[in-house]
């Protein structure tokens, strides 16, 4: 009897459902950033600021209460502290940019269904401090001390 050849290809020709690299939340974030980039591509700086401000406010309004309250306060702190930073969304999250590059952003706990929100900085933020420095800060409660630290970091990050 001749040996039969078996195939290792999946019948669908694609990846199995269990092979997904990204969670549903991560895929949604990637899709959000594609929409953000497309919508901002042809705006003047003034239009970009206006559109970005509205998008950030809309994203904050969609958040569950604890994240929304934190997002509103962080938005107020950042825009008051460094008014030249342009509000925009970054992967569907409130963010703040300088010269077109995101400097910092607020990641609500609800975004990726994790236990705490975070305030994070991108490589273009001027936070360098020796050979190693933090760029992501877990935020569980906005106290006066936490707000002061955010203000300090945003000032330094904006250069």
C-beta separation of 108 from 93 below 8 A: yes
Q: What's the CATH number where 113 sits? A: 3.90.1150.200
pLDDT digits (tens, 9 = 90+) for 49-90: 999 999 999 999 999 999 999 999 999 999 999 999 999 999
Q: Please state the domain count of the chain.
A: 1
Query: What is the maximal distance between C-alpha atoms in the chain?
Result: 81
Segment 91-117 mean pLDDT: 97
**Would you say residue 12 lies in a domain?**
no
**Would you say residue 4 lies in a domain?**
no
**Would you say residue 56 lies in a domain?**
yes
Where in the sequence is the domain holding 154, given as residue range(s)? 23-158
**Would you say residue 137 lies in a domain?**
yes
**Would you say residue 113 lies in a domain?**
yes
Pick from 77, 76, 78, 89: which is nearest to 48 by CA?
89
């Amino acid at each position: 009897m001749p040996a039969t050849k078996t195939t290792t290809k999946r019948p669908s020709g694609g990846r199995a459902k269990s092979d997904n690299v990204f969670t549903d939340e991560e895929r949604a974030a990637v899709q959000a950033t594609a929409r953000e980039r497309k919508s901002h591509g042809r705006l003047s700086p003034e239009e970009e600021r206006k559109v970005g401000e509205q998008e950030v406010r809309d994203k904050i309004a969609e958040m569950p209460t604890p994240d929304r309250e934190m997002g509103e306060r962080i938005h107020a702190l950042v825009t008051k502290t460094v008014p030249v930073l342009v509000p925009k969304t970054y992967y569907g999250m409130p963010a703040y940019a300088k010269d077109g590059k995101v400097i910092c952003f607020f990641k609500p706990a609800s975004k990726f269904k994790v236990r705490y929100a975070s305030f994070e900085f991108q490589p273009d933020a001027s936070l360098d401090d020796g050979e190693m420095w933090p760029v992501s800060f877990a935020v569980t409660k906005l106290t006066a001390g936490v707000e002061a630290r955010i203000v300090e970091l945003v000032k330094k990050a904006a250069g």
